[in-house]
Amino acid sequence: MGRSRIAVIGAGIIGCLVARELAARLPGTQVTVLDRDGVGSGASRRSAGLHLLRGGTDRTRRMSAYSHNYYAHLKRAHPGLPIYPVGATVVTGPGEPGDRLIERYLPQAEPESLTPEPPLSAGHRTWRISGSHYCDVYRLTQALALRMRATVEFAEGVAVTDLVPGDHGVTIRCGTGERIEADAVILAPGPWLAAPAWRDLIAPLGLRVKRVVALHIALHIARPPDPADQAILFDADDSFLLPLAHRGHWLFSYACREWDVDPDRPATGLTAADIDAARDCLRRNAPTPASASASALAAASASASALADACRGGQVFCDAYSPSREPVIEALDPAGRIVFAGAANGSGYRLAPAIAAQAVTQLNEHLSEGATGDPQYV
């Protein structure tokens, strides 16, 4: 492609990994990353960063396995990155079939990754998952950008106000007054689906934005997490307790059901409804320490009720969701010069490597000259 130019719009974890993939597979191409804020300052900054080998469909399971291998390679190549291994235990409720659980948590890449443990009282069971980790996603995006700045241009604080595809390229107009002529664009806007520059292009995809809420557990109730502590997943409610040892507190994430929220709405903090919903979810799902196996709730030195009462702070944001609950990587114009990459359904960090690789491959299919090599792990 010579000295062609590809723009990446959005500097979250997906946008940063797209830029990394482009730089590795299209040497000589000028890659420009634009974001109206700073690198990693949107949804990525508020991400829990939990990575599991999990997926609700064959495609998302394959993407999860790809991302698992990618992050393992990345951590080996750069040991100082803020990626922390963590054990994980899935707690299932009465009557939940193990076969359905195995299907979700068992990508073909690791047949030994899910191991049943002795049943708990009241019909609860626990299953151990291997190969999990969590990440400080904001710090990771910063580290990735730092390593790329010699070859990739980052334009922070630069809002895109117009995006006009043509037969031979894409015109990008910016709030700074600059006009960029790019050969192609990969659009990774996170939950900012309604930005005027691309709202009409994205509309046919049928995407929606949902609120994401995670609570912090007060340390006078639950002891500070230790690196040996496990994440505890309550599968029926798509919620989890995560020991954030690097921050010194626990995090409880639950499935909020508030849709069509505006990511630009001024932050108002947690509501009483958020706290009540989180507490109800914990009380409903968590077996008590007296009835649980050591691996299920060894992390928490309190009853489920006490843990629920300890939900007093947290983090609130949102993410883009697709009708299929699978990520979307799709060309938005007939020439295929604008590729959308996102709608990760709350799993942006977990699936970002696979989304980035598929987006670059998708773009390459529409361009006259091919990318060199296969998707890159390191």
Query: What is the domain partition of the chain in residue ranges?
Result: 1-58+136-206+324-378, 87-131+208-321
Question: Cα–Cα distance between 141 and 290 in angstroms, integer?
Answer: 41
For the sheet with 87-92, list strands across it: 114-116, 125-129, 87-92, 230-234, 239-244, 249-254, 208-217, 311-321
Contact 123/93 with Cβ under 8 angstroms?
A: yes
Q: What is the pLDDT of residue 108?
A: 44
* Amino acid 112: pLDDT: 47
For 130-188, the pLDDT digits (tens) are 889 999 999 999 999 999 999 999 999 999 999 999 888 999 999 999 999 999 999 99
Average pLDDT over residues 204-225: 84
* DSSP-assigned letters across all residues of 215-227: EEEPTTTSPPP-T
pLDDT at 16 over 70: yes
Higher pLDDT pick, 296 / 269 = 269
Mean pLDDT, the chain, rounded, equals 85
Higher pLDDT, 258 or 118: 258
CATH number among 2.40.50.140, 3.30.565.10, 3.90.1300.10, 3.50.50.60, domain 1-58+136-206+324-378: 3.50.50.60
Q: What is the CA radius of gyration of the chain?
A: 21
pLDDT, one tens digit per residue, over 107-136 is 544 444 556 555 554 566 777 888 899 999
Lowest mean pLDDT among 82-96, 158-172, 189-203, 296-310: 296-310
Give the C-alpha separation, 302 to 289, whole Å: 7
Over 70: is that where the pLDDT of 221 sits? no
Q: Considering only CA atoms, which of 71, 53, 35 is closest in space to residue 145?
A: 35
Between 47-51, 223-227, 361-365, the lowest mean confidence (pLDDT) is in 223-227
- Separation between Cα atoms, residue 78 and residue 139, nearest integer Å: 13
pLDDT at 66: 94
Comparing 317 with 222, the larger pLDDT belongs to: 317
pTM: 0.90
Compute the average pLDDT of residues 350-359: 97
Query: Are 53 and 132 within 8 A, CB to CB?
Result: yes
Q: What is the pLDDT of residue 319?
A: 95
Which position has the higher pLDDT, 303 or 232? Answer: 232
Side chain identity at residue 102, one-letter code: I
Examine the pLDDT at 303 and tell me if it is beyond 80. no
pLDDT recorded at residue 215: 87
Under CATH, which architecture does the 87-131+208-321 domain have? 2-Layer Sandwich (3.30)
Predicted confidence band of residue 220 (pLDDT cuts 50, 70, 90): low
- The set of long-range contacts for 138-141, using a CB threshold of 8 Å and a minimum separation of 24, is 138/40, 138/41, 138/44, 138/45, 138/47, 139/82, 140/13, 140/40, 140/49, 140/81, 140/82, 140/83, 141/11, 141/12, 141/13, 141/16, 141/39, 141/40, 141/44
Nearest of 343, 45, 38 to residue 210 by alpha carbon: 343
Environment class of 4 (CB within 10 Å of its CB; exposed 0-12, middle 13-18, buried 19+): middle
- Residue range 320-338: mean pLDDT, rounded: 95
Taking each continuous run of H as one helix and of E as one strand, the counts in the chain are 9, 20
Share above pLDDT 70 across residues of the chain, in percent, rounded to a whole number: 81
pLDDT digits (tens, 9 = 90+) for 266-287: 566 888 888 888 888 888 776 5
pLDDT band of residue 100 (cuts 50, 70, 90) is low
